[in-house]
Amino acid sequence: MDLQIIMEKIEFLDHKFKVAMNKILKIFSLVFVVILMSLNVKAFTVNDHKIAVLVNDKLITSYDIVKRMKMRALLSGIDITPENNNQLANVAADELIKEILKNEKLQEYSISIDENEYLQHEKTFYNNISMSKDSLQELFKTNNIKYSEFKDYLTYEMSWQKLVSGIYYRLTSASEIEIEEIMLKNPELSVDLAKNIIIQKQLDLKSSKMIRDLFNEATIEYK
């Protein structure tokens, strides 16, 4: 192979490596925005509104990341500590990026959730956790989190599932063998429930692929 071509390839790979490393360092910088905190989420307050991430010209601030960290910690019943801070910050940032990308797709398909749909989903949510709506509202209030932000969080998830189902549900299927295998492992399941589990797994895979594609197509800048 011509020496010039080899050198050009080496330079190209070196440039790609530097870009990748720069991106990693920017991701890590998100962590330092929220590193100073107490051991308990209830005592954790940050008023920094610096831009942390740009997603297709949409802004995510360090304060947005902090609020999402707190909300996730409260819903999970865990404290934010120096040991788990890095992980929670990165998860929160990743989740906010996904919400922006999902919202762009939801607008493209004109997906919306009416109040009855939301209330039914909210009821299901509280049936699956050991906390009442009043208790969660009070917990959010104590930690300076607006309940409307949690409502938006649930609405985004509902809307995305509605979009994925609308696009892919007709392409899913559950064979008798798959249903039997599920029911052998879980004898208490009905045929319909076993079928729904199989189909939901297929939809989840489609959802993951859609999100990966959105990430690949997006312009994401870590500040």
Mean pLDDT (whole number) for 195-204: 95
Rounded Cα gap, residues 137 and 173, in angstroms: 40
Residue 111 has pLDDT above 60, yes or no: yes
Q: What is the pLDDT of residues 6-50, one digit of tens each?
A: 444 444 444 444 444 444 334 444 443 444 333 344 434 445 578
68: Cβ contacts below 8 Å, ≥ 6 apart: 92, 95, 96
- The predicted pLDDT at position 78 comes to 87
Average pLDDT, the chain: 82
Strand, coil or helix: what is 55?
strand
Q: Which CATH class is domain 3-166+214-222?
A: mainly alpha
- Amino acid present at 29: S
Rounded Cα gap, residues 92 and 67, in angstroms: 9
- The predicted pLDDT at position 203 comes to 96
- The predicted pLDDT at position 40 comes to 45
Mean pLDDT (whole number) for 136-158: 92
| Predicted structure pTM score | 0.74
Q: What percent of the chain has pLDDT above 70? A: 78
CA distances from 87 to 36, 90, 101 (A): 15, 5, 21
Residue 157 has pLDDT above 70, yes or no: yes
- The predicted pLDDT at position 198 comes to 95
Q: Which residue has the higher pLDDT, 113 or 38?
A: 113
Q: What percent of the chain has pLDDT above 90? A: 62
Q: What is the pLDDT of residues 52-81, one digit of tens each?
A: 899 998 999 999 999 999 999 988 888 888
Contact 95, 141 (CB under 8 A): no
Contact 215, 23 (CB under 8 A): no
- The predicted pLDDT at position 137 comes to 93
Q: What is the pLDDT of residues 90-104, one digit of tens each?
A: 999 999 999 999 999
